[in-house]
C-alpha cells in the first residue's frame, strides 16, 4: 500500500478501517486476494446508507426515473454489442526480466513521466526510450499492449467457447438491454431515466490504493434518455445535480473538483464527459463519470439484436433512438472518500471549551486530551444514535434507557452500550462516527428528560424523552 502526503496516510485509513470493522481484506485467513475486499459491520452500514441516499434522490424523489435490477451475467452478445469484447482494455506493460506487470499509465507515473494535462488519452501512453522496470531496476519493458479487463465465465456444465460470457464490467448494459421492456411498463416519456445499483467486476491489471481500484466493486448508474440535440443541456444539468448530491452526504465543496475531458480524450461516440474528482490522501481521483454518450449504446444493441430501439414521440409524431446522459458512480470510492473526509484527531479540553485539530505527532497540551472522531454526515453515519444508561447496575436506569433505545431502533440504526464510564462510551461512539448519544440518568427518572450529546460540538442538552424522536428526525432526516 502506498504512503501518502497530507493530513492522512492511506495506511492510517486502512488500519482504522480494519480495527473499527469498516473494511477487511477478502479471504484474509488464507493470505488475502488482491483487489477484493469485505465490508464489516460498520462498512456495510456506510455503504447501505450511500446507496439508500442515491436511490432516494435519483429514483424515489424523481418522477422521471425508474429502477432496475438486472442480472450480473448476461448474454455474450450484450458485450459484443457494447464494444467491451473488442475494446474494454487497459494498456499493459511487462518487464521481460522480472515479469512484473504494469498498467501503462501507472508505470509512466512511477517513472516520473507527466502526462500532458493529466491526459486520459491512450495515444499519450508512450514509454520514454530506454525506460527500465522500476521494480527490478534493470529489466527491459515491452511496449504497451491491450489487456481485456472482463472476467470470463461459462454458464452450464460445459466449458466451451460457445457458452463463454463475462461477469459484467458495468451495470449500464443491463439497462440498455432492457430499455424496451422498461419503457413499455413504466409509461414514461423521454426525457426519463433508468437507474441501477449493483456489482461490477474488472480484472484490473494492478489493483491499488486500497479499495479505490478493486476487481469487484459496486456501481450506481443512471441512464437518462433524452431527445437528440438536447445532450449539452442535460449533461450540464446532471453534472450540477451530482456535485450538489456529494455535498448532501457531507463531502465539502473544496474537496471536490471536475475533470473536463478534452475532445481527444473522449470516446468517439461521446460529446462530453466530466469526472467528479475527490482529493484523496493519494491524490485527486475520480469518484464518478458523467458522460453524454449520444445514441451509441441503444443503436449498437439495435444492430446486434435486430430489435428496434426506436422511441415514438407523440408530441411531434417523430421516431428516434434516444440519446443518453450517464452519471456513473462507484459506491466503494464514495465510501473511501467519506471515511477519509470524516477522520479527525482532535485535542479536546478536559473542562468546557472547543475541540481543536491535533498537531500530528505531538501529545495533547496540558488540560487537553486527544480524541479520534469520524465526522460522518448524519445521512451516511453507520450508527445514528447511541443510548446509554448512566449506570449498568441500576435496573431503573437500565429499564428506562432500554425503553428509549427500543423506541428509536425501528427508525434508525442505534447502538446500546452500558459498559464503562460515560466519557469512555462517548469516545467509543466518536470513534465510529455516531452523531448523537442519549444518556438516561437519575434526573430522567424524576422529570422524564435525557441528555442528548452531539458528537462534533460535544454539546449536551436535556431533552424531554417524548421529544427526542422529533429532535433527532430534524437532525438526521
Ligand atoms: N458505465 C460507465 C462506467 O462504467 P467508469 O468510469 O468505467 O464508467 C464508473 O466507471 C465508476 O465506477 C467510476 O467513476 C468509479 O467510481 C467506479 N469504478 C470503476 N472502476 C472501478 C474499480 N476498479 N474499483 C472501484 N470502483 C471503480
Q: CA-CA distance, 292 to 233, in Å (whole number)?
A: 10
State whether the beta carbon of 334 lies less than 6 angstroms from ligand 1: no
Q: Where are the domains of the chain?
A: 41-74+156-339, 89-148, 383-476
Short-list 390, 397, 472, 470, CA closest to 436:
472
Distance from residue 191's CA to the centre of ligand 1 (Å): 25
CATH of the domain spanning 41-74+156-339: 3.30.930.10
Ligand 1, pocket-test mutation among 275, 330, 331, most atoms within 8 A of CB: 330
pLDDT of residue 65 exceeding 80, the answer is: yes
Tens digits of residue pLDDT in 386-444: 999 999 999 999 999 999 999 999 999 999 999 999 999 999 999 999 999 999 999 99
> Among the listed ranges 82-86, 111-115, 225-229, 414-418, which one has the minimum average pLDDT value?
111-115
**Order of strands across the sheet that contains 283-294:** 65-67, 192-201, 216-226, 323-330, 283-294, 272-280, 256-260
Task: Quote the mean pLDDT of the chain.
Answer: 94
The DSSP letter of residue 99 is -
pLDDT, residue 4, reads 44
Q: CA-CA distance, 333 to 284, in Å (whole number)?
A: 12
Ligand 1, pocket-test mutation among 286, 297, 326, 337, most atoms within 8 A of CB: 286
pLDDT, residue 123, reads 66
Percent residues over pLDDT 70 in the chain: 96
pLDDT, residue 7, reads 67
The DSSP letter of residue 213 is B
pLDDT of residue 5 exceeding 60, the answer is: no
State whether the beta carbon of 49 lies less than 6 angstroms from ligand 1: no
pLDDT, residue 120, reads 61
Q: CA-CA distance, 222 to 235, in Å (whole number)?
A: 12
207 in Cβ contact with 308 (< 8 Å) = no
- Protein residue closest via CA to atom 2 of ligand 1: 328
Q: CA-CA distance, 117 to 59, in Å (whole number)?
A: 36
* Interval 153-160 mean pLDDT: 94
Q: CA-CA distance, 41 to 23, in Å (whole number)?
A: 9
Please identify which residue in the block is written with the cell numbers 470516446: 267
57: cell is 434522490
Domain 383-476 has CATH 3.40.50.300: no
Distance from residue 371's CA to the centre of ligand 1 (Å): 35
Tens digits of residue pLDDT in 262-308: 999 999 999 999 999 999 999 999 999 999 999 999 999 999 999 99
468: cell is 427526542
427: cell is 469516545
Long-range contacts of 121-124 (CB under 8 A, 24+ apart): 121/262, 121/264, 121/265, 122/91, 123/264
Amino acid at each position: 500500500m502506498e504512503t501518502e502526503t497530507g493530513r492522512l496516510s492511506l495506511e492510517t485509513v486502512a488500519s482504522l478501517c480494519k480495527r473499527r470493522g469498516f473494511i477487511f481484506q477478502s479471504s484474509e485467513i488464507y493470505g488475502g486476494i488482491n483487489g477484493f475486499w469485505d465490508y464489516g459491520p460498520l462498512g456495510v452500514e456506510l455503504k447501505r446508507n450511500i446507496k439508500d441516499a442515491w436511490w432516494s434522490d435519483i429514483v424515489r424523489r424523481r418522477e422521471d426515473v425508474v429502477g432496475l435490477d438486472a442480472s450480473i451475467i448476461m448474454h455474450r452478445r450484450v458485450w459484443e454489442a457494447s464494444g467491451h469484447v473488442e475494446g474494454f482494455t487497459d494498456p499493459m506493460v511487462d518487464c521481460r526480466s522480472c515479469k512484473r506487470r504494469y498498467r501503462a499509465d501507472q508505470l509512466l507515473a512511477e517513472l516520473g513521466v507527466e502526462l500532458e494535462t493529466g491526459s486520459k488519452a491512450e495515444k499519450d501512453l508512450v514509454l520514454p526510450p530506454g525506460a527500465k522496470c522500476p521494480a527490478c531496476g534493470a529489466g527491459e519493458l515491452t511496449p504497451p499492449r491491450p489487456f481485456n479487463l472482463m472476467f470470463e465465465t461459462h454458464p452450464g456444465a460445459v466449458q466451451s467457447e460457445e457458452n463463454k460470457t463475462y461477469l459484467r464490467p458495468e451495470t449500464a448494459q443491463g439497462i440498455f438491454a432492457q430499455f424496451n421492456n422498461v419503457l413499455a411498463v413504466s409509461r414514461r416519456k423521454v426525457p426519463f431515466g433508468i437507474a441501477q445499483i449493483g456489482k461490477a467486476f474488472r480484472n484490473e491489471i494492478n489493483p491499488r490504493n486500497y479499495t479505490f481500484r478493486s476487481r469487484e466493486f459496486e456501481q450506481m448508474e443512471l441512464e437518462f434518455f433524452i431527445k437528440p440535440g438536447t445532450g449539452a443541456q442535460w449533461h450540464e444539468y446532471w453534472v450540477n445535480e451530482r456535485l450538489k448530491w456529494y455535498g448532501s452526504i457531507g463531502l465539502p465543496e473544496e474537496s471536490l473538483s471536475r475533470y473536463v475531458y478534452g475532445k481527444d480524450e473522449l470516446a468517439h461516440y461521446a460529446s462530453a464527459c466530466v469526472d467528479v474528482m475527490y482529493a484523496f490522501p493519494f491524490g485527486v481521483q475520480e469518484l464518478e463519470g458523467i458522460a453524454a454518450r449520444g445514441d451509441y449504446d441503444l443503436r449498437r444493441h439495435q444492430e446486434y439484436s435486430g430489435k428496434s430501439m426506436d422511441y415514438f414521440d407523440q408530441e411531434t409524431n417523430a421516431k428516434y433512438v434516444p440519446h443518453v446522459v450517464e452519471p456513473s458512480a462507484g459506491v466503494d470510492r464514495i465510501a473511501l472518500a467519506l471515511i477519509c473526509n470524516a477522520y479527525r484527531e482532535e485535542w479536546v479540553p478536559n473542562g468546557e471549551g472547543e475541540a481543536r485539530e491535533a498537531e500530528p505527532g505531538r501529545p495533547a497540551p496540558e488540560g487537553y486530551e486527544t480524541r479520534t472522531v469520524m465526522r460522518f454526515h448524519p445521512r451516511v453515519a453507520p450508527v445514528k444514535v447511541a443510548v446509554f444508561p448512566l449506570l449498568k447496575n441500576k435496573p431503573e436506569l437500565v429499564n428506562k434507557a432500554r425503553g428509549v433505545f427500543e423506541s428509536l431502533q425501528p427508525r434508525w440504526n442505534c447502538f446500546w452500550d452500558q459498559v464503562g464510564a460515560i466519557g469512555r462510551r462517548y469516545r467509543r461512539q466518536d470513534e465510529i462516527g455516531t452523531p448523537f448519544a442519549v444518556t438516561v440518568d437519575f434526573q430522567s427518572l424524576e422529570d422524564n428528560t435525557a441528555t442528548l450529546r452531539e458528537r462534533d460540538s460535544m454539546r449536551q442538552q436535556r431533552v424531554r424523552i417524548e421529544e427526542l424522536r422529533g429532535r433527532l428526525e430534524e437532525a438526521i432526516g
